[in-house]
Amino acid sequence: MNDRLPILKTYKLAIGGAFPRTESGRSIAIKNPAGEVIAHTCHASRKDLRNAVEAALTVQPKWAGASAYLRGQILYRMAEMVEGKRTELAEAISATGATTTEDARTEVDRCTDRLACFAGWTDKYPQVLGCHNPVTGPYYNFSVPEATGIVGVLAPDSPSLLGLISLIAPVLCSGNAVVVLASETNPIPACVLAEALATSDLPGGVFNLLTGQRDELVEHFASHREINGLSAAGVSQAHRATLEAGAAENLKRVRVLVEPDFTDDSGFESPWSIEPFVETKTIWHPSGA
Amino acid sequence: MTTLDPQSHTETVRRTSAAGPGRSPALEFASAWDYAPAPESVKVEIAKVYGHFINGAFTQPDGGPARTMATINPATEAELAQFARGDAADVDAAVKAAREAQPKWAALPAKERGKYLFRIARRMQERARELAVLETMDNGKPIKESRDVDIPLAAAHFFYHAGWADKLQYAFAGRTPEPVGVCGQIIPWNFPLLMAAWKLAPALACGNTCVLKPAETTPLTALRLAEICAEVGLPEGVVNIVTGDGEAGEALVKHPGIDKIAFTGSTEVGKRIARATAGTGKKLTLELGGKSPNIIFEDASLDQAIEGVVAGIYFNQGHVCCAGSRLLVQESIADEVTKRLTHRLQTLRVGDPLDKNTDVGAINSRPQLDTINNYLGRAREEGLQCHSPSTSALPKNGYWCKPCFFTGVQQSHTLSREEVFGPVLAVQTFRTPEEAISRANNSPYGLAAGVWTDKGSKIFEVAGQLKAGIVWLNTYNRFDPASPFGGYKESGFGREGGMQGLRGYVRLDGGAK
């Protein structure tokens, strides 16, 4: 008989490299299939979202300006940190009963590999998505992809970790900063991930994590004027409409995946998952002596 | 006191212009040179009334002033023709035709699809002069621009995309691109035929069919293009053209049979379209407004820079979404730039668009002229000094605005923030490259930017920092079908032209739809 009273953890938000509690003072109980409370997470508010965007704004230009090689090494370091928390992440994924422990392990492994994949994309996608353009006349002309800026990411409920990683890896890879709303039904893996990333060399504020309720936060993600893009999966049709209508206010780039199969490597590890959140800049210069 | 380069063109003119002695001789071009008219001689046939082009044939406009509207020549205010005012029923008929045609068009061997586009390009080249004259009459732009820019580029756009039709799998690494379906395309009045080409050519190359709505003040060249489509045997329903005003545009945006909307126009309308299509699953690309900065550093070649500034803002009467409407000048050369601009503007000939010597033509419409005049009034009210040195005598009829610029502009002035869409330049100064970049990026828009300096490392550093989809270095307002065009931020999303321009007209399998 183990009658030790476990210490229940309250997972905090991740904003600007720190782990604050929600300013709203609210929390949500997360339960296992038996209905027992296994942890608490923060119930983030609109103000938390705004703080996260502010943090992202201060660091995003630096992240985008870092060399592709350095961004690649940091994404690889993220993969290393996830690998190091393999067991804890798998337990977190299966804690609410959404998957078996074995499936959860497979999911974590796929997450690690996906991060490693995008670690390798940082210095290659510009060569696939950009090009020299053979214009008529004495001009040198080329197109390069650049980061869109701040991207709001709405992760699906399930797969709680793989869905999140699949949405953020391509977006971070090209120099964007993200503000993520974790799976609503099981946000614990996202929180564990945030703790892992805190020691991954990813500059604080490039990855920001909120936990809470989509119903409450979707409209604020949609309408925030400093968010430049929205990437979502597993959201309802109503939430999709809210996102797209709100996005019209400052013409955010929006990508909503409908019933995605995150285990499809060719779909989720291609440069076409990077492309939605880059802007093509085309540069002309006359040539002549 | 003149600091002009003695070798420069302006200096030569000054000497021959019989200016009296003195410290600051005035340049007087109006009396120095008298230009004989050089009117374009090609005459173009225009029908009294035009119907829509639906399912390969022109509809019969069913009479009644409610169902037609007039298009006028903005340089004379004379009516050119009546055309059909499309409504929801017309749009529905066009969408039905496009829907029916789409699977067959997509199933054609890609090479055959491409050959139709080649044919269209060729016929546009062969009918180029007719199209240029018609464009100038309907739009008001100088014939030398429609003849040398609009029409050749429009034909080149079809030619470029013709070649993509059978090569799409190479443009999308590791993917099998599929057509989006039926595209609703809404275009503006500033480059009527060129915008039609920008929209139709990539859509058709990728296997889509189209319903295009031209602007209400400039429907004529799009209808000529419809004639060309019929002439080259393009299958019925592949291209449909519905003319009219906002009613037709709205019906197109809301039609459930449309898979994708492509819009070029104002940011305000673009946002309305984005809201209207929210949650419908329609794909969207938007090419919207701008307030593009043109930055001159003190180490620029000034002669070239001044020409670039003029090309940047006065080309097409400033009716250009990527117009370089904010001139950012390094403080040390601000006076010199002001002086040279004043001289250069004196030589710009404003007037009859059909005259081959005309540099600046007519404003496209009365409402647009009112908008521009409104901005001019506000700029003066806000205390800005207007420089309008053009010496041309304006015609009695028609809509005209002399090219002008305002100095002393600050970020708080309306003129530095809002798009005028006319020949109006706002001149601001800066001291350091950092200040230039921060001022340039201080705008909700991000369509284009220009940078003038002869220092290579600086020009690439600044180009890298500017938040703009097109960056012209030591040049401005250059266009090519192979060069992607489109903006950052509230200037819209998606690209037109080049390999990247195909993306808006295909669906990709796998995770990225």
Q: Tens digits of per-residue pLDDT, B173-213?
A: 999 999 999 999 999 999 999 999 999 999 999 999 999 99
A1 within a domain of the structure (yes/no) = no
Domain ranges within chain B, ordered by starting residue: 49-288, 290-473
Buried b (16+ CB within 10 A) or exposed e, B461-496: ebbebbbbbbbbbbbbbbbbbbbbbbbbbbbbbbbb
DSSP state letter for B486: -
pLDDT tens digits along B212-240: 999 999 999 999 999 999 999 999 999 99
* pLDDT at residue B40 greater than cutoff 50: yes
Share of chain B above pLDDT 90, in %: 88
* pLDDT at residue A178 greater than cutoff 70: yes
Find the mean pLDDT for residues B106-117: 98
Q: Where are the alpha helices (DSSP H) in B127-191?
A: 128-139, 143-145, 151-164, 168-171
Active-site amino acid positions of B: 287, 321
Between 3.40.605.10, 3.60.20.10, 3.40.640.10, 3.30.420.40, what CATH number should domain B49-288 receive? 3.40.605.10
Q: Cβ separation of B475 and A286 shorter than 8 Å?
A: yes
* pLDDT at residue A264 greater than cutoff 60: yes
- The pLDDT of residue B22 is 42
* Average pLDDT along chain A: 97
Which chain A residue has the Cα nearest residue B288? A251
* Average pLDDT along chain B: 93
ipTM of the complex as predicted: 0.95
**B391 — pLDDT class (breaks 50, 70, 90):** confident
Find the mean pLDDT for residues B259-272: 97
DSSP code string of B381-428 = HTTPEEE----PPPPSSS-----EEEES--TTSHHHHS---SSEEEEE
DSSP state letter for B504: G
Give backbone dihedrals phi and psi of B417, rounded to 5 degrees, phi first. Answer: -115, -35
- The pLDDT of residue B31 is 62
CATH number reported for the structural domain that contains residue A109 in this entry: 3.40.605.10
* pLDDT at residue B61 greater than cutoff 90: no
**A3 — pLDDT class (breaks 50, 70, 90):** confident
- A-B Cβ pairs (cutoff 8 Å, strict): 139
* pLDDT at residue B6 greater than cutoff 80: no
* pLDDT at residue B21 greater than cutoff 80: no
- The pLDDT of residue B7 is 40
A260 within a domain of the structure (yes/no) = yes
Q: Cβ separation of B513 and A257 shorter than 8 Å?
A: yes
- The pLDDT of residue A282 is 98
Q: Residues of B numbered 159-188 whose beta carbons fall under 8 angstroms of chain A's beta carbons: which are they?
A: 172-175
Number of domains in chain A: 1
A158 within a domain of the structure (yes/no) = yes
pLDDT tens digits along A14-56: 999 999 999 999 999 999 999 999 999 999 999 999 999 999 9
Q: How far is B24 from chain A (nearest CA, A)?
A: 35
Q: Cβ separation of A283 and B463 shorter than 8 Å?
A: yes
Give backbone dihedrals phi and psi of B89, rounded to 5 degrees, phi first. Answer: -70, -40
Q: Quick one: how far is CA A11 from the chain centroid?
A: 18
- The pLDDT of residue B33 is 66
Judged by a CB distance cut-off of 8 A, whether residue B471 touches chain A is yes
Domains B49-288 and B290-473 share a fold: no
**B34 — pLDDT class (breaks 50, 70, 90):** confident
Q: How far is B487 from chain A (nearest CA, A)?
A: 8
The residues facing B193 across adjacent strands are none
A4 within a domain of the structure (yes/no) = no
* pLDDT at residue B48 greater than cutoff 90: yes
Neighbours of B37 (CB within 10 A): 11
> Domain spanning B290-473: which CATH class is it, in words?
alpha beta
The whole domain housing A143 covers 9-286
Burial of A6 (0-12, 13-18, 19+ CB in 10 A): exposed
Share of chain B above pLDDT 70, in %: 92
Closest partner CB to A279 (pick from B288, B478, B488): B488
Q: How far is A116 from chain B (nearest CA, A)?
A: 18
**B509 — pLDDT class (breaks 50, 70, 90):** confident
* pLDDT at residue A4 greater than cutoff 50: yes
Q: Cβ separation of A272 and B512 shorter than 8 Å?
A: yes
